Structure 1
Amino acid sequence: MNVTTQLDLILRVLIAGACGFAIGYERDARAKTAGLRTHIIIAVGAALMMIVSKYGFMDVLGNKGFELDPSRIAAQIVSGIGFIGAGTIIVKHEDVNGLTTATGLWTTAGIGMAIGA
C-alpha cells in the first residue's frame, strides 16, 4: 500500500469522525443520551471496519482455497448497531423513548460505512 492510499484511508476515517461529530453535537446540544462521543466512535468504527473489510485481506486474495466477501462485515455492522440501538429503546405504558437515538446510531453507522467504503 503506498503513501497516497494510506493518506486516503486516514482521510476517510477523519471525514467519518467529522460526520459523527456533527450528528453527536446536535444530540449533545439537546441533552440526549447518545451524544458526541458515541456518534464519533460509531462513525469512525464503522469506517474502520469497512476499510479493513475492503482492503485488509488483499494479501490472501490470490491464494487457492480463499474466498472473500467484504459485504459480510458490512452486514455484521448493521446487525451489531441494530442490537445496540434496540437497547436504547424503552417502552413504558404507551410511551416509547429512545427510538430517535436508535435510528440516529444506525444512520451514523451507515454514514461511517459509506465513507469507509
Structure 2
Amino acid sequence: MEQLVEEFGHPTYTSFPVIAARLLLATLYGAVIGFEREWRNRPAGLRTHILVCVAAATFGILTVEIVHAPMFAQEAVKVDPIRVVEAVTAGVAFLAAGSILFSRGEVHGLTTGAGMWLAGAIGVACGLGLWQVAGFATLIVLIVAGLLHRLQPRAGLVEDQDEEKPASASAKRPRG
C-alpha cells in the first residue's frame, strides 16, 4: 500500500492549477475551431477538435514532466522533448488524413484535415505553456477558415444551363 501511495503521490514539476489551466485553454481553443467546422456542417467538428487539442496539450504537459522527472535524470537516459512534438504531428496527421475523401474526381475534407492538424499544434502549444502562440494560431484559424471562406470561389455551384443534372447534383456543396 505504501508503494502505491508513493507511486501516485509524487508531485509534478508543473503545479496542478497550471496543468488544469493549460488543458482547459486547449479545450477552449479546440472548441472554437470545432465550432467553426460544425457551423459550416463539416466533418470533424466540435468534439473531434476539442479531443485533438486536449490530447496534444496532454502530450505537451507530459513532455515537460518527463524532462523534469527524476527517473529520467540518469546519465543513461537521453530525453529529446522534440520527439513528442513529432509523434503528435504524425498521429494527428494520420487522423486528419482520414477526414480527406476523394470521390467523383473531387477532393473533400482538406480544410478539416488541416484544421485538425493545426488543433494538434495549438494543443501542444497549450501543453507547453505557450499560450500566446496557441491564442494567435487559433485567431489565424478563424480568419482562414471563417473569413477567407467567403472569398473563395464557389466551384461546383454554377451549373451548366444546357445540361440536365440529377437533383442530387444541384444540392451538392463543396466541402473542405
Query: Would you call these one fold, judging by a TM-score over 0.5?
Result: yes
Matched residue, 2:3: none
2:77 is aligned with 1:66:
yes
Q: What letter corresponds to residue 74 of structure 1 in structure 2? A: V
Higher RCO structure, 1 or 2 (CA under 8 Å, sep 6+) = 1
Question: Is 1:14 equivalent to 2:21 in the alignment?
Answer: no
| Aligned with residue 31 of structure 1, among 6, 24, 41 | 41
Q: TM-score, normalised by structure 1?
A: 0.91
Displacement of 1:19 in angstroms is 0.2
What is the aligned-residue RMSD (CA, Å)? Answer: 1.7
Aligned residues: 117
CA distance in 2, matches of 1:61, 1:21: 34
TM-score by length of 2: 0.62
**CA 1:3/1:52 → structure 2, altered by over 3 Å: closer, same or farther?**
closer
- Secondary structure of the 2:77 match is coil
Corresponding residue for residue 116 of structure 1: 127
Look up the match of 1:48. 58
The percentage of aligned residue pairs carrying the same residue is 34
- Cα offset, 1:4, TM superposition: 7.2
Specify the SS of the correspondent of 2:19: helix
User: Runs in 1 of length 4+ with deviation above 2 angstroms?
Assistant: 1-4
Query: Hey, what does 1:92 align to over in structure 2?
Result: 103
Q: Shift in Å at residue 26 of structure 1?
A: 1.2
Higher helix share: 1
